[in-house]
């Protein structure tokens, strides 16, 4: 059973999220509730308005922490700064980019943070939206437009709405998980929104292998996708074991500094620069403190 205190945290998250939407109607669609329910919640009426499942769904969507887990402060790591600059360029100039780099270096964290702090930006975890229909409907809901009707209507409404937005940006994380049909639909969406929307595709080395392999097999669409996303695989981490280790140490030092951790050497020794392990270790240190 969700508690009153947890509901209050979610309501706070809803109020903070409101500025990212052009209207209350669009925020309601984004949250998956009716406009009247949203209005009552914002007025502080939380009793018997939403089910426990819906409250939890909204908390997940807004990334509201309901437990007592220690919060890790964001740090301007080399990965964070690189992706932030890339996303700013794509959004401001309505261009596209393709990033293929190692896992667990902070790509997702940086992209989510950018989407959360900038208007008209959609972050999509493609591992949860692998098919073309799921992908298009997810983007639509994230933008606050109807996503549950006839697919062709949803698609056409999405294209029309994106073209009406000032400087829209769609971030596609874990893009290597997308189905073939979803890749073809991305090509169509790019064509339909050219010069009106920025697109940024991210993934680990498997995304590069998937694109290159299908281009080599002359599978329809992949050469065009590669062309539309910049004709190059961008990378942040350096080549070579020694340079990679220095890069990981620099990342670790930036996160440690942002979170008040002074023993960077010990933190790196425990984590080897893994972002997930760094967060766990900092959580342990803050809890014990």
| DSSP class per residue in 232-263 | S-B--SPSSHHHHHHHHHHHHHHHHHHTT---
Residues 84 and 189 in one domain: yes
- Same-domain pairing of 146 and 215: yes
Same domain, 29 and 140: no
| Domains held by the chain: number | 3
* Mean pLDDT, rounded, of the chain: 92
Same domain, 198 and 260: no
Indicate whether 105 and 147 sit together in one domain.
Answer: yes
Does the global pTM surpass 0.85?
Answer: yes
Q: What is the pLDDT of residues 138-188, one digit of tens each?
A: 999 999 999 999 999 999 999 999 999 999 999 999 999 999 999 999 999
pLDDT number for residue 229: 94
Residue 134 counted as domain residue: yes
Position 97 in a domain: yes
Query: Which residue, 102, 81, 54, 146, is CA-closest to 239?
Result: 102
Q: What angle do CA 195, 174, 104 make, to 5 degrees?
A: 120
Instruction: Confirm if 39 and 24 have CB atoms less than 8 A apart.
Output: yes
Structure tokens at 150: 């006839």
205 shares its domain with 171: yes
Question: What's the pLDDT at 2?
Answer: 81
Query: Is residue 72 domain-resident?
Result: no
Does residue 260 sit within a domain?
A: yes
Question: By residue range, what is the domain housing residue 57?
Answer: 4-62
pLDDT digits (tens, 9 = 90+) for 219-262: 999 999 999 999 999 999 998 889 999 999 999 999 999 999 99
């Amino acid at each position: 059973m969700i508690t009153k205190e947890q509901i209050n945290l979610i309501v706070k998250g809803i109020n903070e999220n409101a500025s990212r939407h052009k209207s209350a109607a669009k925020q309601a669609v984004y949250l998956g509730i009716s406009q009247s329910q949203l209005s009552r919640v914002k007025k502080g009426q939380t009793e018997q308005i939403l089910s426990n499942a819906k409250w939890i769904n909204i908390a997940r969507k807004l990334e509201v922490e309901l437990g007592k887990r220690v919060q890790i402060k964001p740090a301007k790591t080399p990965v964070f700064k690189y992706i932030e600059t890339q996303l700013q360029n794509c959004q401001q100039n309505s261009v596209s980019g393709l990033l293929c780099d190692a896992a667990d270096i902070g790509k997702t964290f940086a992209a989510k943070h950018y989407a959360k702090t900038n208007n008209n930006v959609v972050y999509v975890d493609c591992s949860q939206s692998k098919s073309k229909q799921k992908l298009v409907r997810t983007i639509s809901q994230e933008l606050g437009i109807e996503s549950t009707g006839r697919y062709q209507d949803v698609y056409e409404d999405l294209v029309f709405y994106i073209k009406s937005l000032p400087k829209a940006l769609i971030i596609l994380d874990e893009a290597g998980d997308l189905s073939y049909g979803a890749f073809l639909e991305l090509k169509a969406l790019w064509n339909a929104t050219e010069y009106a929307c920025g697109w940024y595709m991210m993934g680990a080395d498997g995304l590069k292998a998937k694109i290159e392999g299908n281009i080599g097999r002359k599978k329809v669409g992949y050469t065009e996708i590669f062309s539309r996303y910049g004709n190059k695989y961008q990378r942040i981490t350096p080549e070579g074991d020694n340079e990679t280790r220095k890069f990981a140490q620099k990342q670790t030092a930036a996160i440690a500094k942002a979170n008040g951790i002074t023993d960077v050497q010990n933190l790196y020794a425990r984590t080897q620069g893994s972002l997930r392990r760094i967060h766990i270790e900092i959580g342990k240190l803050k809890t014990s403190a």
